[in-house]
Amino acid sequence: MARFSILENVSLILLINLVILMLTNAIITTHHPCSAFHASTEISNNLVCDNVTLTLASTDFGLTIHEKPLAVLEPTSITEISELIKVSNSLSTPFTIAARGQAHSVHGQAMAREGIVVNMTHLNGYRHGKGVVIFRDEKDPWNSYADVGGEQVWSDVLNAALEYGLTPLSWTDNLFTSVGGTLVNAGVGGQTFKFGPQIANVYELDVITGKGVLVTCSAKRKSKLFYGVLGGLGQFGIITRARIALGPAYTKVKSLRLLYSDFSAYSKDQEYLISLNGRNDNAFDAVEGFLMINQWPNIISFFPTQDLPRINSLLAQHNILYVLELAKYYDNSTQDQIDQDVERLVTGLKYVPTFKYEKDVLYQNFLHSSENPGQGLPGGPQSWLDIFVPGSRISDINEGVFNNIIFKQNLTANGIILAFPMNRTKWNDKMSVAIPDEQVFYLVSVLQEATYDTLKTFDEQKNQILEFCKDSGIGIKQYLPRNKTHEEWIQHFGSKWQNFKDTKNKFDPKRILAPGQGIFN
Ligand code: FAD
SS3 (DSSP) at 436: coil
What is the CA(376)–ligand 1 centre distance, in A?
Answer: 13
Region 412-427: what's the mean pLDDT?
92
Q: Which of 50, 104, 151, 156 is flagged as catalytic?
A: 104
> For a substitution probing ligand 1, which of 105, 107, 173, 235 has the most ligand atoms within 8 Å of its CB?
105
**Catalytic site residue 173?**
yes
Tell me, what amino acid is at 125?
G
Note the pLDDT of residue 297. 58
Tell me what the mean pLDDT of segment 196-200 comes to: 98
Alpha-carbon distances, residue 498 vs 494, 495, 502 (angstroms): 8, 7, 6
Check whether 29 has a pLDDT greater than 50. Answer: no
Read off the pLDDT band of 22 (50, 70, 90).
very low
CA 182 / ligand 1 centre spacing (Å): 4
First to last CA, the chain: 19
* Residue 257: C-alpha distances to residues 92, 113, 303, 358, 510 (Å): 58, 44, 9, 7, 50
Mean pLDDT across 301-326: 93
For 342-356, what is the mean pLDDT?
A: 97
What are the two backbone dihedrals, phi and then psi, of residue 25, each rounded to the nearest 5 degrees? -65, -40
Residues 34 and 116: their CA atoms lie apart, in Å, by: 12
CB-based burial label for 430 (10 Å; 0-12, 13-18, 19+): middle
**Ligand 1: centre distance to CA 362 (Å):** 26
Query: What is the model's pLDDT at position 12?
Result: 33
pLDDT (0 to 100) of residue 410: 87
DSSP assigned state of 348: T
Residue 14: CB atoms within 10 A of its CB come to: 18
* Interval between CA 503 and ligand 1 midpoint (Å): 21
Half-sphere exposure of 104 (CA within 13 A, CB side): 24
Write out the E strands in 395-436. Answer: 414-423
Q: In the annotation, is 288 catalytic?
A: yes
Beta strands in 261-347 (DSSP E): 286-292, 321-330
Report in angstroms the alpha-carbon separations of 347 from 258, 269, 270. 12, 11, 13
Dihedral class, residue 280 (left if φ above 0, else alpha if ψ from -120 to 50, else beta): alpha
Closest ligand 1 atom number to CA of residue 207: 19
Cα 355 to middle of ligand 1, angstroms: 35
What is the average pLDDT across 144-167?
98
3-state secondary structure of 418: strand
Task: Report the chain's mean pLDDT, rounded to a whole number.
Answer: 91
- The predicted model gives 311-320 an average pLDDT of 93
- Residues 38-76 have pLDDT tens digits of 667 678 889 999 999 999 999 999 999 999 999 999 999
Q: Cβ < 6 Å from ligand 1: which residues? A: 60-61, 98-105, 109-110, 120, 150, 172-174, 177-178, 180-182, 184-189, 234, 238-239, 372-373, 480, 514, 516-517
Distance separating alpha carbons of residues 94 and 9, to the nearest angstrom:
9
Q: Which atom of ligand 1 is nearest to the CA of 373?
A: 34
The confidence score (pLDDT) of residue 339 equals: 96
CA 106 to ligand 1 center in whole angstroms: 9
The secondary structure of 153-202 as a DSSP string is BHHHHHHHHHTTTEEES---S-TTSBHHHHHTT---STTHHHH--GGGGE
Residue of the CA atom closest to atom 53 of ligand 1? 181
Catalytic pick among 74, 151, 285, 288 = 288
CA-to-CA separations, 300 to 81, 150, 361, in angstroms, rounded: 45, 35, 17
Alpha-carbon span 426 to 135, nearest angstrom? 24
DSSP SS3 for 15: helix
Helices (H), 360-400: 363-368, 394-397
What whole-number percentage of the chain has pLDDT above 70? Answer: 90
What is the CA angle 309-413-467, rounded to 5?
120
Atom of ligand 1 nearest to the CA of 239: 19
CA 373 – ligand 1 centroid, Å: 14
- Cα of 1 vs centre of ligand 1, distance in Å, is 32
Torsions phi, psi for 180 (to 5 deg): -60, -40
Q: Which atom of ligand 1 lies nearest, measured to the CA of 479?
A: 25
Reduce the DSSP state of residue 452 to 3 states and report it. Answer: coil
How big is the chain by its Cα radius of gyration, in Å?
24
Q: Read off the pLDDT of each residue in 113-132 and give the average, rounded to a whole number.
A: 94
- Judged by average pLDDT, the poorest of 1-5, 219-223, 339-343 is 1-5
Residue nearest to atom 23 of ligand 1 (CA): 187
Alpha carbons 457 and 430: distance in angstroms, whole number: 38
Which of 174, 176, 414 is the pocket-test mutation for ligand 1 (most atoms within 8 Å of CB)?
174
Under 8 Å CB-to-CB from 467, ≥6 apart: which residues?
none
Q: How far apart are CA 144 and CA 227, in angstroms?
A: 21
The DSSP secondary-structure symbol of 198 reads G
Residue in 80, 83, 173, 371 annotated catalytic:
173
Indicate the range of 14-18, 179-183, 261-265 predicted with least confidence. Answer: 14-18
Q: Does residue 499 surpass a pLDDT of 80?
A: yes
Mutate which of 184, 201, 422, 447 for ligand 1? The one with the most ligand atoms within 8 Å of its CB, which is 184
Active-site residue flag, 460: no
Pocket test for ligand 1, best of 61, 109, 177, 185 (most atoms within 8 A of CB): 177
Query: Nearest C-alpha to atom 37 of ligand 1 is from which residue?
Result: 104
Check whether 457 has a pLDDT greater than 80: yes
Mean of the pLDDT values across residues 345-355?
97
Closest residue by Cα to atom 20, ligand 1, is 238
State mean pLDDT over 399-424: 92
Question: How far, CA to CA in Å, does 112 sit from each of 67, 86, 271, 514?
Answer: 6, 17, 41, 7
